[in-house]
Chains A and B, each alone.
Chain A
Amino acid sequence: MTLPFLKRLRPENYLSLVALVVLFILSSLASPYFLQVQNLLNILKQVSYSGIIGLGMAFVIIGGGIDLSVGSMTAFIGAIAILVVNALGGGPWAITAAWLVALALGVGAGLFNGAVVTKGRVAPFIVTLGTMAIFRSLTLYIGNAGQFVSQSDLYGNMGMSSLLGVPTAVLVFFGLAFLLSGLLNRTRYGRYACAVGSNEKVARYSAINVDRIRLLTYVITGAMVAVTGVLLSSRLNSVNSSNGAVNFEMDAIAAVVIGGTPMTGGRGTIWGVVIGAIILGMINNMLNMLSVSAYLQGTVKGLVIIAAVFIQRGSSKAARS
């Protein structure tokens, strides 16, 4: 039974898993505190927010694009969600409404990004660089560069909630990973997304609606951003307009790449994103435990991303020759 599964494993798929295991062992040797359940859950919780966005980002990257706007979009959607909760009195209905508004905004923003990329033929990097600036600026403008604070305890409770000790955000992260992994590997849409990213012309000649497939990758990402926006703003029960969800685009892209999805698109893995996100979280955790300055964590993260891509390049080259 396990044999066909093993045969399907390619270096780019298991390298990240190996890295995770090695890192796990190293961390547990470095500090006895690491293996405590609370610490492990903390790591998972910390990585879930940008990780959820990474799940959508994987589709964008597989389809041959990039989305830089996700960080400021998260702040924007989180802020609007809080405004909706406050405006409607903070009860369960207000929270439901906030969810719906957030999802609508996320999908709408994704449609905008995707439409300009596909119909407008503008490079994804530029389009989303633009929307990145737009969403941050709108958030700052609406919030007067200050803090959006929710007046609903219920909303804050939702963000802090957990099931059998596992934080909600972690459950949502894994649940969505399961769903999107199915979407990527078990549906026509997923296959087409890979085809479009692998060779657009072949996809077009194969009667695939290239623009629609690509547009949807941005919509999926927008929806994931909405989920993260609500979860994140409810966890803190507030959103800071200037530094809320800042650098999330970096974390999401890093999780995708470390997980083994090549930036050139054409293929990828959703569970790799989960692994990539956890690797990033574990590295941060270890640096904290070794009391390395928080300011240096970005340096380490940057090096890890570069190293991950470098190793993948080497392994795919070896596999080809």
Chain B
Amino acid sequence: MNNSRAWILVAVIVLVTAALRFLPFLIFGGNRKVPRIIDKLGRVLPAAIMGMLVVFCLKDVTVGSYSGWVPAFVGCVAVGVSYVWKRNTLISILLGTLAYMLLVQLVF
């Protein structure tokens, strides 16, 4: 993609992100009460979106050949096991990425 197009997309992301951050303060800046459905979405949406993003990241996985799924599977297991064990985001990310990179570069 050429560079001017990249800048346009970045501008869109900047605007939407800032709008999302400012909107609550603009709408509920007075003493207006937060509606219950918004309140509920605030509690349940984050978990669902994270689930969706994990699936989004794994969308290129295929089951036809070992190289299509083994690296991602091993990477995810490394992240999962280390995270449940240590609860340290950084350690898990490094371990999982390292395992994945080694597998795609050296084994498959």
Q: Do A and B bind each other?
A: no
